[in-house]
């Protein structure tokens, strides 16, 4: 399976910075093998997608609403993301689960909306530090998978331990491999396409640790936050894939 390296810019980037970053990534890419995705803030999506057009690098959204259109002030539908150039959408990121109180059921409804709009969902799952300390990480991730994906999931799963996001702390390679093996087993057990689903790792992926993480069994790519905001760092992670 071709690895996927996805950059999540989160709430960062005004017009000029975003355009410069997208151009730098585009021109630095050459003909590297992994699939590459950039998820800018919604205000920059159309402009970034236009800059990436024809490069093979795809654009994506960071969230979408469950409805196609209607009276939902401030919200953005999956169809709108698709229309603005997105091909993927990140759903259920732990920052949204924490800050917006997103539940597994809501994420599952967003998955359905995304697929209906021909977007590929990237569903984030992962445990907190307290869950990990108590040895509950598989129970928590299992619950996320059971509740967030829906019945016939065709998308990408991103394992992102909350305590590793933006902290510079990463699980040991053995812990990442164990969790990815657990996720694969759960996907195969519960989903018709479970054997083919790509499972990304996310949480403090940097140029210095990317090669080791990306070589682990069942790691099908990376979801990169902070390091995707620096072209050279993101390109180095892509080269490691
Ligand atoms: P990070 O973020 O790479 O800055 O840790 C990852 C993510 O939240 O997707």
pLDDT at 3: 96
CATH 3.20.20.70 applies to domain 35-198: yes
pLDDT exceeds cutoff 80 at 228: yes
pLDDT at 148: 98
- Looking up tokens 């410069």 gives 20
Please give the distance, rounded to the nearest whole angstrom, from the Cα atom of residue 75 to the centre of ligand 1. Answer: 23
pLDDT at 1: 81
Is 66 in contact with 110 (CB distance < 8 Å)?
yes
Q: Indicate whether residue 170 lines ligand 1 (CB < 6 A).
A: no
Backbone angles phi, psi at 33, to 5 degrees: -80, -35
Query: In the chain, what percentage of residues exceed pLDDT 70?
Result: 100
Q: Give ∠ CA 129-125-142 in degrees, rounded to 5.
A: 90
Catalytic residue flag (residue 160): yes
Atom of ligand 1 nearest to the CA of 203: 5
Q: Mapping DSSP to helix (H, G, I), strand (E, B) and coil, where does residue 54 land?
A: coil
Backbone angles phi, psi at 34, to 5 degrees: -70, 160
Q: Indicate whether residue 210 lines ligand 1 (CB < 6 A).
A: no
pLDDT at 109: 98
Q: What is the pLDDT of residues 124-134, one digit of tens each?
A: 999 999 999 99
pLDDT at 34: 86
> CA nearest 88: which of 53, 39, 126, 49?
39
DSSP summary character for residue 145? H
pLDDT exceeds cutoff 80 at 32: no
Q: What span, in angstroms and rounded, lies between the C-alpha atoms of 228 and 226?
A: 5
Q: What span, in angstroms and rounded, lies between the C-alpha atoms of 186 and 180?
A: 10
pLDDT exceeds cutoff 90 at 30: no
Query: What does the domain layout of the chain look like in residue ranges?
Result: 35-198
What's the longest Cα–Cα distance across the chain? 48
Minimum mean pLDDT range among 29-33, 101-105, 160-164, 168-172: 29-33
Residue closest via CA to ligand 1's atom 1 equals 225
Which member of 65, 93, 144, 180 is catalytic? 93
Q: Indicate whether residue 183 lines ligand 1 (CB < 6 A).
A: no
Catalytic residue flag (residue 144): no
Please give the distance, rounded to the nearest whole angstrom, from the Cα atom of residue 70 to the centre of ligand 1. Answer: 32
Q: Give ∠ CA 13-16-19 in degrees, rounded to 5.
A: 80
pLDDT exceeds cutoff 90 at 33: no
Helix pair 137-148, 104-116: axis angle to 10 deg: 40
Q: Which of 166, 167, 206, 233 to mutate to test the pocket of ligand 1 (most atoms within 8 A of CB)?
A: 166
Atom of ligand 1 nearest to the CA of 166: 5
Is 89 in contact with 60 (CB distance < 8 Å)?
yes
Retrieve residue 6's tokens: 């996805």
Q: How confident is the model at residue 69 (pLDDT cuts 50, 70, 90)?
A: very high
Residue closest via CA to ligand 1's atom 9 equals 225
User: What average pLDDT does the structure give for the chain?
Assistant: 97
Please give the distance, rounded to the nearest whole angstrom, from the Cα atom of residue 203 to the centre of ligand 1. Answer: 5
pLDDT at 31: 78
Give the mean model confidence (pLDDT) for residues 85-97.
98
């Amino acid at each position: 399976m071709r690895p996927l390296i996805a950059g999540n810019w989160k709430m960062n980037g005004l017009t000029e910075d975003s355009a410069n970053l997208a151009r730098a990534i585009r021109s630095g890419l050459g003909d590297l093998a992994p699939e590459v995705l950039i998820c800018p803030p919604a205000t920059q999506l159309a402009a970034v997608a236009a800059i990436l057009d024809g490069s093979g690098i795809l654009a994506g959204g960071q969230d979408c609403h469950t409805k196609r259109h209607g009276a939902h002030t401030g919200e953005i539908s999956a169809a709108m993301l698709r229309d603005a150039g997105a091909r993927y959408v990140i759903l259920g990121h732990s920052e949204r689960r924490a800050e917006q109180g997103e539940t597994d059921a809501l994420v599952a409804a967003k998955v359905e909306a995304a697929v209906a709009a021909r977007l590929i969902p990237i569903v984030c799952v992962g445990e907190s530090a307290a869950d990990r300390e108590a040895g509950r990480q598989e129970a928590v991730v299992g619950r996320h998978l059971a509740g967030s994906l829906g019945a016939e999931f065709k998308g990408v799963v991103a394992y992102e331990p909350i305590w590793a996001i933006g902290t510079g702390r990463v699980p040991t390679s053995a812990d990442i491999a164990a969790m990815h093996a657990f996720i694969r087993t759960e996907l195969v057990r519960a989903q018709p396409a479970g054997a083919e689903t790509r499972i990304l790792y996310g949480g403090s992926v940097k140029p210095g640790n990317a090669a080791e993480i990306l070589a682990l069994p069942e790691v099908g790519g990376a979801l990169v936050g902070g390091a995707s905001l620096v072209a050279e760092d993101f390109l180095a992670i892509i080269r490691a894939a």
